Chain A
Amino acid sequence: MIRNYFKIAWRNIRANKLFTVLNIAGLAIGICVCIILFSFVNTELSFDKMYSNSDDIYRVNMETSEEYNFETWATMPNAVGPALEQDIPQIKRMARLIKDDFGATASLKIGDKNFTENNLYLADSSVFKMFDFEFLQGNVETAFSKPKSVVLSQTTKKRLFGNQEAMGQLITVNNHDTLEVSGIYADLPKISVMDFNMVYNIMDSWMGTNVYWSNASYETFVQLEPNANIPEIENQASALIDKYVDKEDQYFTKFLLQPLTKIHLYSAEVREGYSTKLGSITTIKSLLFLSLLVLFIACINYMNLATANSRKRAKSIGMNKVLGASRRHMLSLFYVETGIMVFLSIVIGYAISFLILPLFRSITGNELGYQDLLAAPILIGLLIIWILVTLIAGSYPAISMSSISPLILVNKSKTKGAASELVRKGLVVFQFAASIVLIIAVTVILQQMSFIKNKNLGYDPSGIVAVSVSSAETGQQIQSLIKSLERQVAVESVSAVQSMPGANESGRAVLKLATDNTGMPIASCRTDGNIVQTLKLNVLAGTELPETITEGDSIIYTLINEKILNYLGYQTPDEAIGKIIHTELGPRALITGVVENFNFNSLKEDIGGYMYYKSRRAPEGIRTLLVRYNSQNLSQFMEQLQSTFNEALPNTAFDYQFLDRHVAQLYASEERTARTATIFSALAIFIACLGLFGLAAFTAEQRRKEIGVRKVLGATVTGITQLLSKDFLKLVLVAFVIAAPVAYWLMHKWLLDFAYRTEITWWVFVFAGLAALLIALLTVSFQAIKAAVANPVKSLRTE
């Protein structure tokens, strides 16, 4: 019996080439998309599960007070870790970590070679045991036994030393610390947020030994005893705040434990963490949703085409029933047929997914490998897809067709045409509605991206290269670098600053009056001047910061933005010039200029208070030179810049970033969303078109006789083409009416993420509607014209 089902099903599949090709193409594309995304999701979900202590490791996060908008931070004072370990018995060990120089790129010097390194960590030696470090040279015990030791990952060792012996070699970091290599460890797993390339002992630095409860810069991980009680530990930990910190100094209120395995995906609301390997659970959810949508659209194709085909099949179903088949027999037959079809699609889709994996990688910037496609969960997923798609896609045709009565054989019986017709139309409407929503979404996303790119930020980030000088040996070196840069023709201006806009400013407060206790939190950035000219800020009143400050002058000269001006309560910018204000920097700060608000942060955020200052006794150092250049030949200019740099700072690695690329980087995830959405909508539309194409073919086939009669009666080719196309176009219109409000609502919500956003204009809807209509028309009219030009004698004779 079963063999017979397979036989009949297989012959049916082969007999109906168009039907089969359309179905398999649609399903294979849908399945291919699912496979790739499932692999992606699968790797995202397996982050950090491989450590032997994975289930017991937590990151301590802290909830800040109102002053910092109750934000959750991943970094905290270095006193927290030791206090937790000492006071809470359920904590087995803790490790604090901090990136060298608070995350700035480190400059390494080995012999006479300079390197840059972004993932140089200072950490407690307990990290080795906590995260299963596997030492290839040296071992856990000896790693930090000598002061000023550093351990390297295997890859980093290769990069710095090549094939030469690294153990015992000296590395000078930022021209102030010289460390000795005391161990080489196997690279940590790729799917881990832990991204140490080099680790040195935090206890060799004041950062480890000089514990305090103020500056929050340290990530703190704890390993708990097995089966520890999390809420209890959180309460105990939070209680330590009152124990160790004076009430008025408490700017954080609570400690929270975040499981290690959740850091990768669930850290969107957690600020200040060091790892760059973060994903987002929302992205995963929306990708899953989109891939299932595409697959569902492909399923709908199958249902549509199969039922459209039912008239042809009706006779054989009726006959089988006369010969003794029950409804169950017929159900099985259809499911077997669907099963075979889906199986073929899976095989093809799986094969394609290997072919297009490189494409996927380049589009998403993801590191998915071939072995990820072979992972066990994926293979199980394929099995589940097979069963589910067979059941879903096969359901409607199987159920509707197995109920065909044997009477079909004797009367030229009416199949239950009306009902199945309606379902079919409903399915087409759904497909097109989904496609139109995607078209609108893509258009709005692209509009927003171009809005962002073209928005006047209040300063001009293009044509500026930011050169890191944080590892300069002396201030003298920086001064001479600035001098020689300013002499170059291609350099318009140079400004020495603490940070590029939005990267590494210091959080401070400005105070209205002496009585103002909280003040306004602002970002302050040290500069040595030239900032207005270099960034092209718009000065509303006053002047640039003074070029030089005489010896003994203790005044802090400041340049504030309108936000601060408004907070301080001045009516006009001019009124503020020359006024003394209170900042946390010191009591005597003088306003020399007011600039228009500029978007130093991403456009997702509103502009906050921002202050540039210059002072002889600035607490922050100069870390970056902003160089505005004007050169036709960029590569030549960069070469020149590098050689100038090497002359002035011979022992420091040349590390630079273009400011406009840094700004673009802020929208990298939106950029990816845009690309992904574009691809998905293209696929969805393509699959929907496959279905529509097939459906049009069947309709034309069904109405062959009618078309023949009409032609004999004098209908023109145009008339018949219109007749056949009209019905489908109506469906697209209905789909549009459904899709438009859904799309509006979705995109309105998406845009709310941006403080600065484009309008959703009416023409987006017109565009999407026309696009869908045009695509549908092209698809359908091919079949319609084919039917219309056919010789009517043929179609009438065969009846």
Chain B
Amino acid sequence: MLLELNNIFKWVNQGGKRIFLLSDLNFNVEEGEFISIMGPSGSGKSTLLNVIGMLDGFQEGEYNFLNQPVHAMKDKERSKLYKEYIGFVFQAYHLIDELTVYENIETPLLYKNIKSSERKALVADMLDRFNIVGKKDLFPSQLSGGQQQLVGISRALITKPKLILADEPTGNLNSKQSEEIMQLFKELNQEGVTIIQATHSESNAAYGSRILHLLDGRRNPH
């Protein structure tokens, strides 16, 4: 088992009332799965991804990641855990504007104190694999959306995470670019990477092995 969420509650207080973002959520993920989370806007898709990605906390419930109790961890341990095992892909790509393609991909390795020669080899592999060697000295603003997302995915993969969390990865792309990215995710999954994506699109969801429907922060069993 990669991770399990048991009876997760997350809420915010607004005008003296509790508004539930996640409510009594139970959810297990095995290694090697490709899961799509679907639901209308505000159903809690992103919130759930942030909880799984340990960027955001929750008020009640248990979260075990690789059999370690995330809910009982301190901030530092938690961030150590996600830096080790999780890669993130965003709808808005979130590349660092001041860095070139090469440097964007290299950044996670820097923070892991990996040696320079090894970094070069790893980044070169990645550029090669996604056919963006020619773009390595360009800045994000000089790339198309699809290319930017490719860089975003390369950057997420460079540290060889077990789990990729993708929040509407094709939301800003046209249909052709979308298809390419989803195809890529499928390949990655076949290589053994676990993927959880949040999406609005039925066709994108179809790439996954399993779909989780959310409505108002609960599983929608329909």
- A residues contacting B by CB (< 8 A) are 1, 4, 7-8, 11-12, 15, 315-316, 318-326, 329, 405-407, 409-411
Contact = CB atoms under 8 A, between A and B. Distances in A.
Contacts of B110: 1, 4
Nearest to A321: B79
Nearest to A318: B94
A410 B108 contact: no
A497 B111 CA distance: 87
Contacts of A322: 55, 88, 94
Given A1-B110, A326-B111, A409 B90 contact: yes
Given A316-B98, A323-B108, 20 more contacts: A4-B103, A4-B110, A7-B103, A316-B97, A318-B94, A319-B94, A320-B107, A320-B111, A323-B83, A323-B107, A323-B111, A324-B112, A325-B111, A405-B55, A406-B55, A407-B50, A410-B55, A410-B90, A410-B167, A411-B46
Contacts of A7: 103
A410 B96 contact: no
B112 A407 contact: no
B50 A324 contact: no
B96 A316 contact: yes
In this complex, the member of A316, A318, A319, A406 whose beta carbon has the largest number of chain B beta carbons within 10 angstroms is: A319
Interface string B97-126: 111000100011011110000000000000
A409 B98 contact: no
Contacts of B46: 410-411
A126 to B, nearest CB: 71
Contact of B94 (A12, A329, A409): A409
Listed residue (A1, A8, A323) with the most chain B CB atoms within 10 angstroms of its CB:
A323
Nearest to A10: B98
A316 B92 CA distance: 12
Interface in B151-168: 155, 159, 167
Contacts of A329: 111
30 contacts: A1-B110, A1-B113, A4-B110, A8-B98, A11-B99, A12-B98, A15-B98, A316-B96, A319-B94, A320-B96, A320-B107, A322-B55, A322-B94, A323-B83, A323-B111, A323-B155, A324-B83, A324-B108, A324-B111, A324-B159, A326-B79, A326-B111, A405-B55, A407-B55, A407-B56, A409-B90, A409-B94, A410-B50, A410-B55, A411-B46
B111 A8 contact: no
A319 B50 contact: no
B9 to A, nearest CB: 18
Contacts of B159: 324
A325 B113 CA distance: 11
A12 B99 CA distance: 10
A-B interface, 8 closest residue pairs, ranked by CB to CB distance from nearest: A324-B111, A324-B83, A323-B108, A11-B98, A316-B96, A319-B94, A324-B108, A325-B111
Contacts of B49: 410
A315 B112 contact: no
- From B94, B113, B155, residue with most partner A Cβ within 10 Å: B94
A318 B49 CA distance: 16
A609 B22 CA distance: 93
Contacts of A323: 83, 107-108, 111, 155
Nearest to B167: A410
Nearest to B109: A324
A133 B108 CA distance: 70
B126 to A, nearest CB: 14
Contacts of B95: 319
Nearest to B88: A322
B94 A315 contact: yes
A343 to B, nearest CB: 19
A319 B107 CA distance: 10
Contacts of A326: 79, 111
Contacts of B50: 407, 410
Interface string B43-70: 0001001100001100000000000000
> Which of B56, B95, B111 is the most central at the interface, judged by chain A CB atoms within 10 Å of its CB?
B111
Contacts of B97: 316
A319 B111 contact: no
Contacts of B167: 410
Nearest to B159: A324
A411 B83 CA distance: 20
A500 to B, nearest CB: 71
Contacts of A320: 96, 107, 111
A15 B99 CA distance: 12
- Among B55, B107, B159: residue with most chain A CB under 10 A: B55
Contacts of A405: 55
B192 to A, nearest CB: 22
Nearest to B82: A322
A321 to B, nearest CB: 8
Interface string B19-40: 0000000000000000000000
A331 to B, nearest CB: 14
A411 to B, nearest CB: 8
A407 B111 CA distance: 19
Contact of B96 (A319, A407, A411): A319
A411 B88 CA distance: 15
Nearest to A324: B111
A512 B99 CA distance: 92
Contacts of B113: 1
A325 B109 CA distance: 10
Interface string B129-162: 0000000000000000000000000010001000
A323 B90 CA distance: 12
A128 B107 CA distance: 71
A11 B97 CA distance: 10
Interface string B165-180: 0010000000000000
Contacts of A315: 94
Contacts of A319: 94-96
Nearest to A406: B55
Nearest to A11: B98
Contacts of B155: 323
A549 B49 CA distance: 114
Contacts of A406: 55
B81 to A, nearest CB: 12
A8 B113 CA distance: 17
Contacts of B112: 324
Contacts of A321: 79
A325 B99 CA distance: 15
Contacts of B55: 322, 405-407, 410
Nearest to A317: B96
A1 B96 CA distance: 16
A669 B55 CA distance: 64
A211 B110 CA distance: 85
B60 to A, nearest CB: 20
Contacts of A324: 83, 107-108, 111-112, 159
A773 B219 CA distance: 60
A405 B90 CA distance: 16
A322 B87 CA distance: 8
A15 B108 CA distance: 23
A326 B75 CA distance: 11
